[in-house]
Amino acid sequence: MTYPHPGHRYGQFHPGAQHTYGEPLFSVRVRKHYGLFMAWSMRTYTITGTRTQCEQALHQAQIHNVLAGWWSPLSLLLLNWIALIANASERSRLHRAAIPTNATR
């Protein structure tokens, strides 16, 4: 996976950009939440890659959030839910961007 160029916006399809194997490139913003006993940390980063690579990064972040995100009171009530919902929203945005607009019937 590569990291975005300064002009790229997250969650968008890059029409001219293609991976080495001719696959289109996408960007998604991924959130990982760490719940600690009385503290927490939220890490947000942007991944640019093929659809499969972006989905894999989102999946790994969701697994991390489910396993490590609940270990503080504020995380249990609010913050981990924000990370989980934000990643699910990015996955939906990725799926919408990956649908070809000129599909033949």
Total-model pTM: 0.75
Q: How far apart are CA 77 and CA 65, in angstroms?
A: 14
Please calculate the CA angle 11-16-19 and round it to the nearest 5 degrees. 80
- The pLDDT value given to residue 5: 47
- The pLDDT value given to residue 3: 47
Percent helix, strand, coil in the chain, to 5, is: 40, 30, 30
Average pLDDT, 10 consecutive residues per value, the chain (105 residues): 47 54 88 91 94 96 95 92 97 90 55
